[in-house]
């Protein structure tokens, strides 16, 4: 099956909906991969030079002035995901979760987030495998990103949290193993890049817009048929 190649600029709302609803595969081009690598090289250079970078070599929020030792930089990113996966309530619909993942991939492939190509490739594997995270519907959204929902999404990537296995909900690590995948090890900046976005809100916007367009067409058709039946002029 032909893959839709994402570059962060070409994905339309109808295409996003079609890809998710029909479980169509996605991928990236060599040019997009090269752009992601160039972006990552900048981050690695800064880290090597021991430069101060918020959320990469420092803590977050109130801890912005706390320097993180080199040996703890990766742990910082892992802990960021775990600490923010604090959503509650009923789970999000599966199609919304898949839209979130697709849109997050589409954002990261632009090459502005400084993540490794390996991270993007692993997210694509998750999407193409049909692995769907179990994400509680209530949590912080819109404030510096949809932090709680995106953290639950990222948890599956690193083998934490829960994911769907058919109708069942299982530990993410077990679901990954069923698909021949291993938990991904985050490196500098990658936890921050995964959750600093608004893909939950955007996913709902895509769904709502598609429904609105469909209802608008149905209203026009119903109105036209009614006039025809009544022989109106």
What are the C-alpha distances in Å from 83 to residues 16, 60, 144, 165, 210? 30, 12, 15, 25, 34
Contact 103, 203 (CB under 8 A): yes
- Beta carbons of 79 and 59 less than 8 angstroms apart: no
In degrees to the nearest 10, what's the CA dihedral of 178, 181, 187, 191? -40
Q: Does the active-site annotation cover 204?
A: no
CA dihedral 117, 130, 86, 111 (to 10 degrees): 20
The structure tokens 């490739």 sit at 121
Among candidate residues 54, 134, 164, 204, the one labeled active-site is 54
Catalytically active residues are 54
């Amino acid at each position: 099956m032909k893959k839709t190649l994402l570059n962060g600029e070409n994905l339309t709302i109808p295409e996003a909906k079609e890809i998710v609803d029909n479980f169509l595969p996605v991928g990236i081009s060599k040019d997009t991969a090269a752009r992601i690598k160039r972006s990552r090289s900048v981050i690695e250079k800064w880290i090597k030079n021991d430069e101060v970078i918020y959320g990469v070599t420092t803590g977050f929020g109130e801890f912005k002035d706390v320097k993180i030792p080199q040996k703890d930089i990766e742990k910082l990113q892992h802990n960021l995901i775990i600490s923010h996966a604090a959503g509650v309530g009923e789970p999000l619909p599966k199609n919304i979760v898949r839209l979130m993942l697709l849109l997050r991939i589409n954002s990261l492939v632009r090459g502005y987030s400084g993540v490794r190509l390996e991270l993007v490739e692993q997210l694509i594997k998750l999407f193409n495998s049909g692995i769907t995270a179990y994400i509680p519907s209530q949590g912080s959204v819109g404030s510096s990103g949809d932090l709680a929902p995106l953290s639950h999404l990222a948890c599956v990537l690193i083998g934490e949290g829960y994911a769907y296995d058919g109708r069942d909900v299982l530990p993410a690590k077990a679901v990954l193993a069923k698909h021949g995948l291993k938990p991904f090890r985050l490196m500098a900046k990658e936890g921050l890049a995964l959750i600093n976005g608004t893909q939950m809100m955007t996913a709902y916007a895509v769904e709502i817009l598609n429904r609105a367009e469909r209802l608008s067409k149905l209203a026009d058709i119903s109105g036209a048929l009614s006039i025809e039946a009544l022989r109106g002029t």
